[in-house]
Amino acid sequence: MADSSDDEDLRQAIAMSLAESGGTSSFPADNDNSEDEDTRRAIALSLSQDPASGTAQPPGSQVDSVMGSQAAASKNEASKYAPATGTTNNASAQPRTDKSSTAKPTGLLGLDRKAMEQERLARAGKRKRSVSPEMPSKQIMKSTMSEPAAQASTTNGLQYPRGTVKRTWASKHSRSNDITLGEVLQQSTLNIAVFSAFQFDSTWLHENHLDPYKVKQIWIFSAKGEDVQEKLLREAKETRIPNFKMIFPPLPGQTLNMHGKLMLLFHDDHLRVVVSTANMIKEDWGEVGNVWQAGVMENTVFLIDLPRRSDGKLAEKIGTAFGDELLRYLRAQKVSQNVLDGLLKFDFTATAGFAFVHSLAGTTSGPERSRTGLPSLAKAIRDLKLDDIDRLEIDYATSSLGALKEPFMKQVYLAACGLSPLSDAAKDVDVLERFRVYFPTKETVTNSTGGPDCGGIITLNREFYNASTFPRQCLRDYQSIRPGLLSHNKLLFARGRKKDGTPIAWAYVGSANLSEAAWGMQKVLKSGKEGSSLVRNWECGVVVPVPAENIKAADLPEGVIPPMSVFAGTVDVPFVHPAAEYGGKEPWIFRSY
């Protein structure tokens, strides 16, 4: 029997909000056993309060999120969700006073058309201004961030031709293998940008990082139900955003969210493919609305620059497993053919050393179910020759936990070994002894830069945690190596030995939390046959192997599993390790009822 863990209050709040706008709730009465933190984050952001006054802020004041079907909840729900703002809980910190908090007359997509036109005219005049003390703090922030962003954007060519993984930049933290959104976008040469995320802050994006008059944008995001989609399309049309298109991936039946974080950035001479753990909001990219406050959140980014084909023609096929699965993912999301054709103009050869992993929202059975969710991860491991495992250790950093149970964790372990989720190869393996889950304690969240106000993005229900089936012994405190930052990361680090004794290590970077909603779980019928598999979210990620030469350089004794330090230079581990078990500490609980 499935464990019912639905947030009925959430659905009621959404229904009430849609009723106020003339719509109807399209959320099903599902029985998913894991909740998605971004859903609640959207609610929290819509209910954000001014920390100094305690009064509700207007929609344009903090994060103008495009929430798809996750419409704003009613005021009565405010006490149930902690606002994910950039405020701090430390006694020495100052209250938020930046002038960017002033409400603006914006539409659903957060665009101030008058301000945009003024900025366009200013740009046309090519007038440069120096930063002065009288400038609003938002402009100061934009100016102080412009230098590193400009350096990246003037790099004409392939900056990361072999692919790389970086941490997101964080305000007031020293720079070390990190990257800003400006450096990711390379706006000075950007022509077309395809963005996939659960949340968008368009005011921040367009005022600080992207000129909508110059760059054509295609947004892929969550909107369940024709009524919600029609409302978004109507409001986008009324806002008259230039060079803009929206795509709503199918969310049939009990599916919930388009949760994948993907960018396709088309330049004259290269295509930049970006897969991250971050949404398109400033907090996820380490930014704040002023110059004195430190960042509150960290994420991780994979990016690779692919050259344009030398013959200038469309290839008949991508030619790598990475590219094939990327195309499959985009086709399933109903992305337009001209975007797919655009990918065929670039050379994907350099992606052969990586694997694109996805979850296609929906119910699958038979051969089809072997291509997405956990089977997609298993296929990736086989394609990269990282399978045939004798022993594997898993460290999984997640920002959301549902009713976690051993059977699901075993299926994740098997997939990480390149095996079917129902394989009996690990029947005698104590998976819980080989699986560590990094999730912050209450103490860590309370003492973070953002404090409990930022805890709304990190979710675990006390009912789930108190269940006898919850694997408490697997929990480890997520403490960032950059003190004070909370994590929105979804990272899987795998280390092991193959049956022939070869040591291996690889990491997954993507949008999937450690949940059945993200990965799906294969059911077994009473007859003993495989049942259908339900994946509730669209997700995507990349498997990044540690090069064999790096593992060899570790000079491991025979039979020893590679240590976590082996990931240095490939995917920097963002949290403190090894981390002790919780002991007497409590996890951060999103809600106590």
Catalytic site positions: 259, 488
Place of tokens 């005021």: 75
Separation of alpha carbons 443 and 455, rounded Å = 11
DSSP string, 481-549: SSTT-EE---EEEEEEEETTS-EEEEEEEES--BSHHHH----B-TTSSB--EEE-EEEEEEEEEPPHH
Q: Is 245 annotated as a binding residue?
A: no
Q: Is 585 annotated as a binding residue?
A: no
Helix then strand then coil, % of the chain, to nearest 5: 30, 20, 50
For residue 270, the cross-strand partners are 307
User: In 31-100, where does DSSP find H-type helix?
Assistant: 37-46
Write out 384-397 in H/E/C secondary structure.
CCCCCEEEEEEEEE
Bridge-based pairing of strands 537-545 and 486-487 is unpaired
Q: For 54-90, b where at least 16 C-beta lie within 10 A, e where not — what string?
A: eeebebbbbbbbbbbbbbbbbeebbebbbbbbbbbbe
Separation of alpha carbons 92 and 72, rounded Å = 32
Separation of alpha carbons 56 and 16, rounded Å = 18
Decide: residue 426, CB within 10 A, 0-12 exposed, 13-18 middle, 19+ buried.
middle
Separation of alpha carbons 267 and 190, rounded Å = 5
For residue 509, the cross-strand partners are 491, 542
Separation of alpha carbons 298 and 482, rounded Å = 9
Annotated binding site for substrate: 261, 490
